[in-house]
Amino acid sequence: MPGPPSPSRAERKEAARRLLADFDLEAIRGWAAAEPQAVRSLQSLLYDEDELVRWRAVEALGLVAAVRARGGLEPVRELLRRTLWLMNDESGGLLWHGPQVIGAVLANVPSLCSEFTPIVASFLEEDPFRVGTRWALWRLAEVRPDLPAGVAVALTASLADRDPAVRGHAALALLAARGDDLEALARDEAPLAVFDHRTGTLRATTVGAAARGLL
């Protein structure tokens, strides 16, 4: 007798959305191991109208990458190359969360950091990726604090940026990478929102709190 029909694309996407709603990391890993279309389902949610869904899809793609890496690194490289292509206008749908995806993937598959960290860092001053690239470098620095010297210099320079989200995320990345004393920013009360990958939540904070590591 034939087996049950394969789930449709819409059904797979809905299953992914339910997993993101719970933000159960172990369940996401188990689903990724059993669902060959996990990457495609999550990529579609990177364009969701709900910002929290987009962010949780970012982190889930990092978990899926770690599962795929068990069989070799080439599928992960392909995911990263695809993400970079989607960050290009020629892709037809600019992926604003592209740097964040790369950061989450590399944090979960750190053996590819030396290969791709300089690439994601190349977007530090490119709109609309400035904030997302700094979030990606923060995510990376928590796992691999040895950021390239030029990257640390660029992050330090951006502590004086006019955009509080740029300042705050640069501070988080520098704290994770070098434990820098960022006392100069401690009284900066400009607000920003930060996605906390540990809890799957968007947190309202200030530049000063980020500079003190208070997340």
**Predicted confidence (pLDDT) per residue in 89-141, tens digit:** 776 678 999 999 999 999 999 999 999 999 999 999 999 999 999 999 999 99
* Mean local confidence (pLDDT), 9-16: 91
Q: Is the dihedral of CA 174, 175, 176, 179 positive or negative?
A: positive
pLDDT given for residue 50 in this prediction:
96
Chosen CATH of 9-211 out of 2.60.40, 1.20.1270, 1.10.3470, 1.25.10: 1.25.10
Given a cut of 70, whether residue 35 has pLDDT beyond it is: yes
Given a cut of 80, whether residue 179 has pLDDT beyond it is: no
pLDDT band at 1 (very low <50, low <70, confident <90, very high): low
Q: Rounded distance, CA 48 to CA 110, Å?
A: 27
Q: Rounded distance, CA 56 to CA 76, Å?
A: 19
pLDDT given for residue 4 in this prediction:
53
| Domain assignments of the chain as residue spans, ordered by start | 9-211
User: Buried b vs exposed e over 103-112: b needs ≥16 C-beta within 10 Å?
Assistant: bbbbbbbeeb
Higher pLDDT, 149 or 151: 151
pLDDT given for residue 118 in this prediction:
94
pLDDT band at 181 (very low <50, low <70, confident <90, very high): confident
pLDDT given for residue 14 in this prediction:
93
**To the nearest whole percent, how much of the chain has pLDDT over 90?**
84
pLDDT given for residue 156 in this prediction:
93
CA 1 to centroid of chain Cα atoms:
44
pLDDT digits (tens, 9 = 90+) for 36-65: 999 999 999 999 999 999 999 999 999 999
Given a cut of 60, whether residue 180 has pLDDT beyond it is: yes
Nearest to 25 by CA among 76, 79, 61, 77: 61
Given a cut of 90, whether residue 154 has pLDDT beyond it is: yes
pLDDT given for residue 174 in this prediction:
94
